[in-house]
A = this chain, B = another copy of it.
Amino acid sequence: MKRNSRLSSTLHILVHMAEAPERALTSEQLATFIHTNPVVVRRTIAGLREAGIVSSSRGHGGGWQLGRAPEEISLAEISVALGETLLPFSTEPESPGCLVEQAVIAVLDDFRLEAERLLAEKLSHITLADLTADFRRRYDLIGVSSHAL
């Protein structure tokens, strides 16, 4: 799992969970999908559990399942649950009292506020169901997935 690929890796995992709704997938299995470690998976999607996007169960036959229908899970929620920032730049004051910095931060924060609203709005209209539909389309065309579902 590369740096900065937490969102796409998580989506990858979630699509697999959506495609196997009848059974729980273990972190071990999920980890192999995204070529990483089970502990990294658990750590990464722990926030999704708290958000009700997935549920986990321990012990024999345990693992991870979606917490609700793919249609009801938006990328906006997932992104928030992962603790991802949509915009990368920081606007924390480094010279409190400097009017130049205050002006810069004010303008930048205005932009950030508006931009984040816009991005969140866009992401809220993309659901996990859209992803699985896209996957199904590709699957029906080519007829095989690289790691058997």
Copies in the complex: 2
| CB–CB A15/B126 < 8 A | no
> Once the chains bind, are B33 and A90 in contact (CB under 8 Å)?
no
Contact with B along A118-141 (1 / 0, CB 8 A): 110011001000111011011100
What are 9 A-to-B residue pairs whose CB atoms are below 8 Å?
A: A5-B91, A6-B89, A7-B89, A8-B90, A8-B101, A12-B98, A86-B87, A99-B138, A107-B126
Which one of A84, A101, A142, A145 has the greatest number of beta carbons of chain B within 10 Å?
A: A101
Among B8, B94, B100, contact of A104 (Cβ-Cβ < 8 Å): B8
Contacts of A51 in B (CB 8 A): none
* Inter-chain contact A98/B145, CB cutoff 8 Å: yes
Nearest-Cβ distance from residue A53 to partner chain B, whole angstroms: 16
Contact of A12 among B15, B100, B130 (CB under 8 A): B100
B101 A126 Cβ-Cβ under 8 A: no
- In the complex, which residues of chain B have a beta carbon less than 8 angstroms from the beta carbon of A98? 12, 33, 145-147
Interface residues on A, range: 35 or more
Q: Which A residues are closer than 8 A to B by beta carbons?
A: 1-9, 11-12, 15-16, 19, 33-35, 75, 84-92, 94-95, 97-108, 111, 114-115, 118-119, 122-123, 126, 130-132, 134-135, 137-139, 142, 144-147
Q: A103 to chain B: closest CB distance in Å?
A: 4
- C-alpha spacing A98/B142, complex, angstroms: 11
- With a CB–CB cut-off of 8 A, which chain B residues contact A132? 103
